[in-house]
Amino acid sequence: MSRTEAVTLPGAGTPQAQAAQERAAFSVPLPRARGLLASEMRLVFRRPRTYAMLAFLAAVPVLLGVALRYFTDGAGGGGDEGLEFVSQVTNNGLFLVFASLAATLPFFLPMTVGVVAGDAVAGEASAGTLRYLLVAPAGRIRLLLVKYAGLVAFCLAATFTVALSALAVGAVLFPMGDVPLLNGDSIPMTEALVRALLIAVAVAVSLLGIAAIGLFVSTLTSVPVAAMATTVGLVIVASILSAIPQFHALHPWLFTDQWMSYGDLLRDPIVTDGVVRNLELQAAYTLVFGAAAWARMADRDVTC
């Protein structure tokens, strides 16, 4: 890590003494914060549990693809947006990306995010490593920011695992070609791939709210399983609430409300209302629960 930091600093190509001088002149917290950030990324992504969850997520498109390729009876019942994608998969493999994201977004993706988020601080507290990080000293707020950055990275990684796995499975099992959009027009494969990328990013962004909630819950306890269960439980509660029409007044404020808005990215021209509303919602949840986590972290007694 130290080596990459040295390389990315300006003047690294110049003689060593000069480089060292510039490094000294550059002694703002930024390059060092990246030290902890890089360490956090390794912590998140080198953990066996993370592999297991990503492998599980990668298996969803495989199951879905195999089911659609070999066990479908042809008469797909449309209606829901997710199912709309499903009926298209047999015509074009790229739709498996959208179908898989639609299948994993309501529960599997937030579940894995809930596990990582719930563990973020509570796991360190329960292992006792939190006290050593704080005594290092990592700085409480810096640690919280780095933890959230790790969560954002995991949201992206989880979403792209599903998307890339679906892309590969789709390419193998189904024909690929021009993609018919939801309103009937077709766009070429390359543009469709760009749209798929946008959609994956939109799905990853959809997970940021629950990531912030999980991080906050994680600061409340030193029992990681409790934080994980609470976070995943909140996802379930939100989806139950959104399914009950009597709570319609509440619906626009649920972090799950605009989760399916990414379908709008498959229209021409792109309809951005829902996507923007989703961004706002996720930003609001991140700010509110980030601030709560901040307040909690700043004066928490670390007794384990």
Partner 1 sequence: MNASTAVRTPDRGASSAHAARAAHAAPSWDGEREPVVVTRGLSKAYGRDRLAVDGLDLVVPAGSVFGFLGPNGSGKTTTIRMLMGLISPTAGTATVLGGTMPKAAGAILPRVGALIEGPAHYGFMTGRENLARLDAADRTADPATRRERIEEALARVGLAAVGDRKARAYSLGMKQRLGIASALLRPRDLLVLDEPTNGLDPQGMREIRALIRTLAADGTTVFLSSHLLDEIEQVCTHAAVMARGRLVTQGTVDDLRSAARGRLVVETPDAGRAAVVLAELKAGSVATTATGVEAELGDVAPDVACAALVRADVRVRSFTTTGGSLEDAFVALTGEGFDVED
Residues that bind partner 1 in the complex, under the rule CB under 8 A? 1-2, 5-6, 23, 29, 31-33, 35-36, 38-39, 42-43, 46-48, 127-129, 131-139, 142-143, 299, 301-303
Nearer Cβ to partner 1 (143/254): 143
Q: How far is the CB of 115 from partner 1 (least distance, A)?
A: 16
Backbone phi, then psi, for 179, in 5-degree steps? -105, 120
Q: Which is nearer to partner 1, 127 or 226 (CB)?
A: 127
Structure tokens belonging to residue 182: 């939801």
Whole-number Å distance between alpha carbons of 207 and 256: 9
Least Cβ distance, residue 59 to partner 1 (angstroms): 22
| Residue nearer to partner 1 on the CB measure, 9 or 171 | 9
The nearest distance, CB 169 to partner 1, in angstroms, is 30
Cβ atoms within 10 Å, residue 73: 5
Query: For partner 1, which is the closer residue by CB, 115 or 200?
Result: 115
List 96's β-bridge partners, or say none: none
Residue 195: closest CA among 185, 176, 177, 181: 181
Residue type, 285: Y
> Of the two residues 92 and 112, which places its CB atom closer to partner 1 in the complex?
112
Distance in Å, CB of 127 to partner 1, minimum:
6
How far apart are the C-alpha atoms of 230 and 214, rounded to whole Å?
A: 8
Taking the complex as a whole, the smallest distance from the CB of residue 11 to partner 1 amounts, in Å, to: 14
CB-nearer residue toward partner 1: 44 or 281: 44
Which CB, 8 or 183, lies closer to partner 1? 8
Min dist CB 44 to partner 1, Å, is 11
Residue with tokens 């003047």: 11
Is residue 68 within 8 Å of residue 86, measured between CB atoms?
Answer: yes
Nearer to partner 1, 29 or 188 (CB): 29
Q: What are the b/e assignments for 227-259, b being 16+ CB within 10 Å?
A: bbebbbebbeebeebbeeeeeeeeeeebbbbbb
Classify the C-alpha dihedral 244-245-248-253 as positive or negative. positive
Shortest distance, position 36 Cβ to partner 1, whole Å: 5
CB of 226 to partner 1, least distance (A): 19
